[in-house]
A and B are shown apart, each in its own frame.
Chain A
Amino acid sequence: MKRHTARTMLAAGSLAVASSLLLTGCGQGFSGSGSDPSASAGGLTSSDKPLTIMIGSSGDAETKAAQDAVAAWSAKSGVSASVVAATDLAQQLSQGFAAGSPPDLFYLSTDQLAGFASNGSLKAYGDQLSNKGDFYPSLVKNFTYDNTFFCAPKDFSTLQLVINENLWTKAGLTDADIPTTWDQLAAVAAKLTSGTTKGLVFGGEYARLGAFMAQAGGRLVSEDGKTAEANSDANVTALAYVQKHLQDGTFAYASDVGAGWGGEAFGKQLGAMTIEGNWITGALGDYPDVKAKVVELPAGSAGKGTLQFTNCWGMAADSPNQKAALDLVEYLTSADQQLAFSKAFGPMPSVQSAAQTWKSDNPSLVAFLNGADYAQGVPTNKGAADVIKDFNAQLESLKTGDPKKILDTVQSNLEAVVG
């Protein structure tokens, strides 16, 4: 009886495997045609298939702006196209790539670029863009992987200093006191600290503290992306400066004052100043009493410095209609269209030809765009996102930690993924 059962189960198992392999074999996604390595170089595919554009939207305003722009292009070009707002972009993209049916165009962040580029999911179309020369060079560098310019920067943002004007004047400060050096920043932060309000509040992560590192002349990965230089003296100086003022209570992390991020701390007046990007203008709508003034971050020993963040229009290597997709990207990244996006939901245009108009349209935010001249990007090497995550974890205890030791760990982690 026992043997009989075993045999039956074996038969049942093999039947199941055989039948399901048959089923999956018939399915579209597993044909294996998606792994043609030559697709990521050379010419573009062309067909009359409609385009799908997947976006990770910040809200209705962004979704609507993207839909309108794509619809306008559709009407002009005659190629039908639809916009999908993803709920979890990374996951939905991965699913698409695994199934061999990804969206044709999609938002792609700098830290995802290396992963998707190295497995051949992306079409590198950067060099075929007719408006290639118009993008800020630092943004182009952000989307260059293995010396190939992969995708067109969609828009970008930089970090600058945001000041609460009421608290500023209440502390007896004037425009002449706007800090231009680290010492001045520490001095005004001390003056602005009172009660539950800290002078300067920002998120305890590389994406904020990295600005201080840039001002001191440091960076995590060398500009060519080939050497790790996390534990440079400049970086140690920057973290030591932040640590000193975290300890004397004039700087604070957003989480330490009970806020989710710098913008929330600023809005709730838990911090009189914060370091954030131009997305903060949207969040400040919730706090009508707070009047914000944006100025450039003070210069460190190596001059001005800040970080920039950006997304690009990724194009799938498996897309059947790349020619039309390229045309759509050129349309979406044109100066006029980017200014329209900017009006709708506030991002900064990634092309230099739109700069002047944007500055005159947004006089109070000029500092953000000025940052484009000296901003540095975050590392894009494959695996760098994990290193930065680990760096962030250690930065949370910077107040009591040893800056040099923290950076040494980052250095050894980075050396494993860089080069």
Chain B
Amino acid sequence: MSASVAPAATPSRPAPPRHPRSRGIRRGEAGAGWLFVSPVILILGVFLLVPVLMALWVSFSDWSGRGSPLSGSVSFVGLDNYVAITTGGGLAERDFGTALRNNAWYVLLVVPLQTVLSLFLAVLVSRRILRGRGFFRTAFYFPSVTSSVAITVLWLFLFSFAGPVNQILSAIGLAAPNWFSDPRGIVHVALAAVGITDGPDALTGTGFLGVSWWDWLSGPSVAMSAFVLMAVFTTSGTFMLLFIAALQNIGVELGEAGMMDGASGWQRFWHITLPQLRPTLFTVITLGLIGCWQVFDQIYTGTQGGPAKTTMTPAYLSYTSAFQNQDWGVGAAIAFILFVIIIAFTLLQRWVLRDRPVSKRRIRAYQPRAAASTPSASPKGADA
């Protein structure tokens, strides 16, 4: 488009020199620049880029964990490692399917819960009339700075068979589950409560990755639900901090304008505050998604994948395949599939949260009854 205009705009300007950096007072600047960034490039290269590339190579090789993966005795096996966990039809495939199932439910519950809770807490402690705001901010943030291993141990104690949580539950007359040894999925438990214990053949007969659709729909196990609660408990403090920062950046003018127009508190939050938090929302959900798909330390220190593999996650499966079974290629392949899943989810939510043109319905609401006064917003809107 602009190609036809550009020459006319600068008719008399001389052609730029081909190598501006080789002449004059700025000579050597590029070299100095490279010198200054080289430590970072070197460090990132050695500790990030090369390990990632080597892991990628391992996922396509038959490296068995002895000696260098780049030595001559290691050979390229193509997609064998990926095939083994996605179409093998054996235990490896079912394990991978189970791990994905567990983690998908974990993500599905943790990400929305922690986002909503952290936003709620942030709004709560940002209110100017609240006394002792500093105390509450610290209190809500505290679980986030505690190490996840310590929190896991605490959780194992709280949710043990005769632990405080179960004592409270039985004190108020609720059935106390045996949290960390209960492999039943909560959706299955709910269905069993209304008398459905076996799925229809359409769901039990077929499946994906060696796990039947009925089992995909089982929901997180009771044990995994305890981890879901823990993740929400520990991470909402961190994300609350992000939301507080974003809330402080929002000017009061729009809110006051809304107030003048008679918007209720909820309407102001939903239509004025929340849209302005969109960039922070994107950050929080992205970080949440990444963190949830990579959940490892709670599993490693807490349950080691049990009961009945219902807390096994791809990250933990990758670890056991590599370090315990010496199947390094499979372990690396799982890690890269996980990487692709995370990228896909991030792109998806970026697309969902994209800036959209104002919808026609919305525009209509803002138009004066007389109409035809805002042709620029939408040519068709003028007709309505």
Contact = CB atoms under 8 A, between A and B. Distances in A.
A34 interface: yes
B176 to A, nearest CB: 10
A287 interface: no
A406 to B, nearest CB: 12
B50 A24 contact: yes
Contacts of B45: 15-17, 19-20
B181 A255 contact: yes
A35 B46 contact: no
Among B37, B49, B53, B324, the most chain A Cβ lie within 10 Å of the Cβ of: B324
B42 A20 contact: yes
Given A35-B66, A256-B178, A258-B178, A119 B326 contact: yes
Contacts of B326: 94, 115-116, 118-119
Interface string A86-112: 000011001001101000000000001
A386 B71 contact: no
B91 A387 contact: yes
B323 A34 contact: no
Nearest to A95: B323
Contacts of B268: none
Contacts of A17: 45, 49-50, 53
A259 B163 CA distance: 12
B65 A413 contact: no
Nearest to A386: B91
Majority-rule SS of B interface residues:
loop
Q: Which of B64, B69, B94 has the most CB of A within 10 A?
A: B64
Interface string A386-399: 11011011101100
A24 B68 CA distance: 11
A394 B308 contact: yes
A394 B183 CA distance: 10
A77 B381 CA distance: 95
A121 B67 CA distance: 9
Contact of A397 (B37, B74, B183): B183
Contacts of B50: 16-17, 20-21, 24
A385 B66 contact: no
A379 interface: no
A33 interface: yes
Interface string A360-401: 000000000000000000000011011101101110110000
A31 interface: yes
A37 B41 contact: no
Contacts of B74: 35
Nearest to A400: B197
Interface in B57-74: 64-74
A120 interface: yes
A94 B94 CA distance: 25
A6 interface: no
Secondary structure at the A interface, as helix, strand, loop or mixed, is helix
B364 to A, nearest CB: 41
B309 interface: yes
Contact of A19 (B42, B53, B161, B162): B42
A32 B68 CA distance: 5
A30 B161 CA distance: 49
Contacts of B143: none
A383 to B, nearest CB: 7
Interface string A23-64: 110000111111101000000000000000000000000000
Given A17-B49, A385-B325, A397-B308, A35 B65 contact: no
Given A16-B44, A256-B178, A34 B91 contact: no
Contacts of B160: 258
Contact of A32 (B64, B70, B306): B70
B66 A30 contact: no
A100 B308 contact: no
A293 to B, nearest CB: 27
B68 A94 contact: no
Contacts of A387: 91
B307 interface: yes
B137 to A, nearest CB: 36
B95 A390 contact: yes
Nearest to B44: A16
Nearest to B166: A258
B181 A94 contact: no
B66 A386 contact: no
Contact of A258 (B70, B73, B162): B162
B90 interface: yes
A90 B94 CA distance: 24
B323 A31 contact: no
Given A32-B68, A386-B95, A393-B306, A12 B37 contact: yes
A13 B324 contact: no
Nearest to B160: A258
A100 B67 contact: yes
A416 interface: yes
Nearest to A257: B161
A3 B12 CA distance: 25
B189 interface: no
Contact of A12 (B41, B90, B178): B41
Contacts of A29: 68
A121 to B, nearest CB: 5
Contact of B68 (A15, A31, A90, A389): A31
Given A17-B50, A32-B71, A396-B183, A98 B42 contact: no
B323 A90 contact: yes
Interface in B73-129: 73-74, 90-92, 94-95
A90 B308 contact: no
Q: Of B65, B69, B326, which is in contact with the most chain A CB atoms at under 10 Å from its CB?
A: B326
A202 to B, nearest CB: 14
18 contacts: A15-B38, A16-B44, A16-B49, A20-B50, A30-B68, A30-B71, A33-B67, A119-B326, A121-B66, A256-B178, A258-B162, A258-B178, A259-B161, A386-B91, A393-B307, A396-B307, A397-B183, A416-B90
The 4 closest A-B pairs by CB, nearest first: A258-B161, A16-B45, A32-B71, A119-B64
Given A34-B66, A115-B325, 8 more contacts: A15-B38, A17-B50, A19-B45, A20-B45, A94-B323, A258-B160, A383-B91, A416-B90
